[in-house]
Each structure stands twice: as structure tokens, then as C-alpha cells.
Amino acid sequence: MKKKNINHHGRVPLPKRMVCLAMYASGFLCACDTANQSKNASNDSLTATSTNASGSLSSSAPIVPLIEPPTMDATVPPVIVRPPALWDGSAVTWEELRPLLAERAGASILEELFLERQLDRMVTLRTKVVSQELLDSEERELLASLSEDPARAQVLLRELRAAQGLGEKRWKSLLKRNAAMRLLVQEDVKVTPEAIEAVIDAQHGAKRQCRVMALPDLDRCAQARMRLDAGEAFGEVAADMSTDRSAARGGIVLPVSRLDPSWPSSFRQTLWSLQKGKVSSPVLIDNGYVFVRFEDEIAGDPAAAAGARAGADRAVRRAQERILMENLAKQLRQAQRNVTIFDDSLLDGWTRVKNAAR
């Protein structure tokens, strides 16, 4: 019988063809020697593991650690989880901070996210696109509305964003929502010649300075008329009886143009039919009656009015867009009913905000 070579571990070294890779788990490989080697060397079989007749793994196969377990790479820095804030060396964790933030502003942020998703859906359904050009236009419009001086407008914008807590992400989201709403309401904007003329007249036309005295009913109007007829000054009676905010100024209001749409048409018609220094009869308005006294007239600027049509067209369009956008946002917020909130702190804030809005 040929003597087998025994290594210093007391094991028979396996031929290379008899070493097989059986398993790879936890960084180890299994090399197995077949238990039933064929007597014919040419028919020696290579097996992944020693098996018995039933096909199960043989327990006689020694486990040899051919590959070391994986180790940490010293060149890769460890992941450091930093707390959101520190106070006097003590960490403020997200577990502490998150529920407080959810209660304080979570409802408002959630409402903004829902509104943005609603608008995204509407824009997609109408096959429209909120382009970068529209986003840039929104920012330019806002800056122009703040001041004609670009440097001053930038300062005011920074102050506005700071006051409303508009960081970079919320600011971009606001621009996107506004651009989407403006895009969606375009079909409903109607710029008429009458509206353009009203804006030109309000900006550059003649204006009349007047005093007003707002009263709730005809009984109070009769009392005021008696005092005026008795010789009391209009400003004194208005300061004593008027329900308008101008009462503290003796009824003086800002100059009114003939076509100024911010005033009721009945009021404007009455003012522009009066003679200087005269007081009107009680004029019916939405919430009561008003006396009007014509004080003085301010001349207009016909030359400026002649070149103001383009600006007036833009002003009318922007005014209508603003009203339509506000109405759209209101409708979408009211439609935010299919909402499920799992976080207790966020749910508390959401419920309080929605209850307050009713």
C-alpha cells in the first residue's frame, strides 16, 4: 500500500481538483473532501460538498477559513450623526424638536405641499409646463411691485422673506405655486377697454378731494343733516358720528378720480356732480349711507395719460390675475379633505388650523 503524505496538522492534503468551493457565508468558504472517492482515478468526481445517498450534506467535511471575514476600511471615515443643534454642550435631538416644529408650523407646510401637488396635477392635465422662464418672471414681478429701485426692491424682498420664514426651499416652492396658478387662470383674464381707461384715469386723470360721513341708517342721516343745517362744520360732525375710519381725520379721504374702480360708482357719480363746498344728500352704499362734501379738484396730466396705455393694460391684467389666483387657491385649500395624518403632533396642528379657518 502506498503511504499517504501527512502534513503537520495531521491531515491528508487534498488534491487541487478535489478542493471545491461549497458555501460563502460570513466571509468563510468550505472546502470538502469527497467521502466516497472512486477507485478509478480517471472517474474521480468533483463535488461541492460531501453528500450521502439522500443528498444531504456530509458532516465529515472540514470547515476551512479560506477567506478572512471582511474588516472595516480604515480609509473610509465613519458616519457621524450630528444633532440638529447644541446648547451649552447638550444636544437637542430631532426626537425633541420634530413634534414642536410640527405643532408650530407643520399644518401650514403641509397645506403648501398639498397645494403644490394639486397644482402639479392640474398643470399636467392641461398639458402645460411651469418653465424656468415663468419662475424668473414671478420673481421679477414681485421685485417690481416692491419698489421701482432694484436695490431697494432686493432689500425689501430680503426683509419680506425673513418676516415670513421663507428660506430657499420654501421661496422656490412659492414661486412655483404662483407661476402655476397664473398659468392656469390665463384663459379667464379679460382685459376690456373700459378697464384700461379706468386705470389710466385713476393714475393720470383729474381727481377730487372730498370728505365723507358714513352712517348706518336714515335716522342717523337725519340727525347729521340737522347738525349740518344748524351750522356745524362737516369735519366736526363726521368726527363725532361717522363709522368710517376717516372719522379721525374729519372725514378726509384720498383723492378720487372719476373712474376709480375702488370706489362705488354711485359715490363717484355723486362726488363729480357736486359743486365745490357743497354736501350731497345721503348716498346708498353697500353697508349703509354716506354724505359727501366736495373740497377741491386736482388737475390731471393728459400728456402722461396718452402714453400710459401699455402700463394700464398690464395693471388690469395683473389685477385680474391676482383675484383669480386667490380664488383658485381658496378652492384648492377647501378641497383638501382626503387627508390622512398619522403623526399626533402634526394632526394636532392641522386640526387647530382647519378649525380656526371655519
Q: Tell me the per-residue pLDDT of 291-344, one tens digit each, with 9 for 90 and over.
A: 999 999 999 888 888 788 888 899 899 999 999 999 999 999 988 888 888 988
Q: Return the number of other C-beta atoms located less than 10 Å from residue 345's C-beta.
A: 16
> What's the pLDDT band for 176 if we cut at 50, 70, 90?
very high
Dist. CA 329–CA 207, nearest whole Å: 36
Q: Average the pLDDT over 111-118 and give the result.
A: 94
Examine residue 253 and state whether it is found in any structural domain, yes or no: yes
Evaluate whether 70 touches 26 at the Cβ level (below 8 Å): no
DSSP string, 136-161: HHHHHHHHHHH-SSHHHHHHHHHHHH
Domain final residue, candidates 53, 73, 93: 73
pLDDT digits (tens, 9 = 90+) for 185-228: 999 999 999 889 888 888 888 999 999 999 999 999 999 999 99
12, part of any domain? yes
- Does 173 or 104 have the greater pLDDT score? 173
Residues in a beta bridge with 24: 29
What integer pLDDT is reported at residue 63 of this predicted model? 52
Band (73; pLDDT cuts 50, 70, 90): low
Provide the H-helix boundaries in the chain. 94-101, 107-125, 132-146, 150-163, 168-185, 193-204, 218-229, 234-241, 265-271, 302-306, 309-334, 344-357
Contact 295, 276 (CB under 8 A): yes
Strand partners, 213: 291
Average pLDDT, the chain: 81
Stretch 103-122: mean pLDDT: 92
31 part of a folded domain: yes
In a domain, 343, yes or no: no
Query: How high is the pLDDT of residue 133?
Result: 95
Is residue 22, in this structure, part of any structural domain at all?
Answer: yes
pLDDT value for 58: 46
Mean pLDDT confidence for 236-248: 95
In the chain, how many domains are there? 2
Examine the fold and report which residue of 261, 280, 299 is the final residue of a domain before the chain moves on: 299
Residue that terminates a domain, selected from 42, 73, 104? 73
CATH number at residue 237: 3.10.50.40
Tell me which of 103-112, 132-141, 218-227 is least confident: 103-112
- Residue 182: predicted pLDDT: 95
* Region for 261 from its dihedrals, namely left if φ exceeds 0, alpha if ψ lies in -120 to 50, beta otherwise: alpha
How far apart are the C-alpha atoms of 212 and 294, rounded to whole Å? 9
The boundaries of the domain holding residue 214 are 206-299
Domain membership flag for residue 269? yes
Q: Is 353 within a domain?
A: no
Q: Per 3-state DSSP, what percentage of the chain is helix, strand, and coil (rounded to 5)?
A: 50, 10, 40
- Residue 58 placed within a domain: yes
| Rounded (10°) CA dihedral 95, 99, 104, 109 | 90
pLDDT digits (tens, 9 = 90+) for 49-71: 444 444 444 444 555 555 555 56
